[in-house]
Homo-oligomer: A and B are copies of this chain.
Amino acid sequence: MTDLPLLSNARSERVRSVAALGRRAARDKQGRFLVEGPQAVRELLGYAVHAAEALYVTDPAASRHTEIVSTALGAGVPVHGCTEQVLAAMADTDHPQGMVAVARRVDVPLQEALDAVGERGYAVVLTHVRDPGNAGTVLRGADAFGASAVLVSAASVDVFNPKVVRSTAGSVFHLPVAVGTPVPELLHACRDRGIRLLAADGSGATALPDADLGGPHAWVMGNEAWGLEPEVLELCDDVVAIPIRRAESLNLAMAATVCLHESARGR
């Protein structure tokens, strides 16, 4: 790694500009986000290399992950060696495992995400999801169970928040994610495409095994604390409950995972 320029000033303009991506305002302004740790960086380079702008790596991490460094260099992504102090200053997590990349946002326009759902696909809609870990886990479940897209409302957590990116374990790069549309517009856009809207809500009269999952559909997930608002429920075609033994025993990410698994089973 001695052939790479070594960044050692944790207070340099460049380091501060990368570190700023921990904040939503800077992400929105720059149109970039942080990708932390070898696993996430590997997925970035494998699935969205066009979005990769720079890789920052410590010497020990570069030695442990030579394949990541050569993939980046081979794709024309600038690789910068840096000290542990510089890496710690740039990273949001306490344990970036010696590696942080900067990428341009990878979200797609809403219509492109809806195109991906097409005639047979299914998607997830996050309406007011606030917890980064929940949002990331839902993306991961959507990826695992073959969803065509994830649609994230304007009122939800930023999917390019480093905590969300981390908890997707790379899934944010695997399937189309559309962000920033207000909830009612988002639901109307789905309806206009013939995508059946299924609210996942414990109050639902339809039990999950009885839900109509034959055509294109989207699971509509609400806020962690208050669930789905009446106005949102009204815009949905059905309200579906997962049969459980006790109320409050499923969190949002678990509920989404189970619903998506059911969708996958039907295909």
Which A residues are closer than 8 A to B by beta carbons? 137, 140-141, 143-146, 169-171, 174, 209, 242-246, 248-251, 253-254, 257-258, 261, 264-265
Contacts and interface: CB of A to CB of B under 8 A. Distances in A.
Contact of A245 (B144, B209, B249): B144
B250 A140 contact: yes
Number of copies of this protein chain within its complex: 2
A254 B171 CA distance: 14
Q: What 7 pairs across the A-B complex have the smallest Cβ distances? A: A144-B249, A144-B244, A146-B245, A254-B257, A143-B249, A144-B250, A258-B261
B137 A254 contact: yes
30 contacts: A137-B251, A137-B254, A140-B249, A140-B250, A140-B251, A140-B254, A141-B250, A141-B254, A144-B242, A144-B245, A144-B249, A144-B250, A144-B254, A145-B245, A146-B245, A169-B248, A169-B249, A171-B246, A171-B249, A174-B246, A174-B249, A209-B265, A242-B261, A250-B257, A253-B254, A254-B254, A257-B257, A258-B258, A258-B261, A261-B261
Nearest to A43: B248
A42 to B, nearest CB: 10
B264 A243 contact: yes
Contacts of A171: 246, 249
Contacts of A242: 144, 261
Contacts of A245: 143-146
A143 to B, nearest CB: 5
Contacts of A209: 265
A149 to B, nearest CB: 13
Nearest to A171: B249
A146 B174 CA distance: 33
A244 B175 CA distance: 14
A37 to B, nearest CB: 13
A232 to B, nearest CB: 23
Contacts of A140: 249-251, 254
Nearest to A133: B133
A171 B251 CA distance: 12
